[in-house]
Amino acid sequence: MRSKYSLLTGVIFIAFFLCMSIMVNGQSKQDDYSARWKSIDALVDKGLTKSALKEVNQIYSDANKSNNSTQIIKALLYKVTLQQNITEDASVKSIDTLEREIALAKEPAKSILESITAQMYWTYFQQNRYKIYNRTNTTNFNKKDIATWTSDDLHKKIGDWYLASLVEKKLLQKTSLEPFDAVIKKGNVRYLRPTLYDFLAHRALDYFKNDEQDITRPSYAFEIKDVKAFAPASEFVQYKFDVMTKNLLYQTCIAQIRWPAQLP
């Protein structure tokens, strides 16, 4: 009986020791990353951008080996920021880097990277707005070079990436923000956006509520596709339009009424 008791005690002790080792090692790895990021921040403060970038690339490599998606994203964000100071066409190269990473990433990190990529395109547009508005739209043209894109091209790309970041809705709604605290500012109202879906959806909304994405089109623009709307009056009055078409026809009538009053 005593030997059984001793054996059982030994097994419990070993299990407890292994559990504590895993916890300590996990905490140690987090502390290790924290110390490394502090070192990188110190290099940045001293203006040693290339040295900082070298350390960031090392963290990126280590995070990839351990499949630490949060640290991978943080390393990419640092890399994008630091490259702005030392690389020509840094924005374009950063976008290329993020798009390549998206092709390899798994959820939910992939959705975060898609949202960041949308933001990178939006930033590029804002930085080059004065050039972009002078370009004209083209058709049947292979637009691999972002330098040839028009505002419509860029806004479509931005919108597509933001929408892509929300595709995995159910998964994102089940994902809390805590695992990504290293790359997301916590703020004091996190309870209003408790899941990763809430966070990414609000990022997308911040873009879509901006009127500039429709600047090349009138805000009242609409298109009536139902051919019966253009039928002779005798047929037109007999036809039952759906709700959407009714609203569009109503807008057309209002526009026709108001437009003459706006003339001098």
Each residue's pLDDT tens digit, 186-217: 766 666 788 999 999 999 999 988 876 655 54
For residue 12, give the amino acid letter: I
For residue 116, pLDDT over 70 is answered with yes
Residues near 132 by beta carbon (within 8 Å), at least 6 away in sequence = 125, 149, 150, 151, 154
Q: pLDDT for 36-66, tens place per residue? A: 999 999 999 999 999 999 999 999 999 999 9
Instruction: Lowest mean pLDDT of 4-13, 45-54, 120-129, name the range.
Output: 4-13
pLDDT of residue 13: 38
- Note the pLDDT of residue 59: 94
Q: How far apart are CA 141 and CA 163, in angstroms?
A: 25
C-beta separation of 197 from 170 below 8 A: no
At 211-250, the pLDDT tens digits run 766 555 444 455 666 676 777 877 777 777 666 666 655 5
pTM of the model: 0.67
* Distance between CA atoms of residues 237 and 239, nearest Å: 6
Nearest to 77 by CA among 97, 92, 107: 97
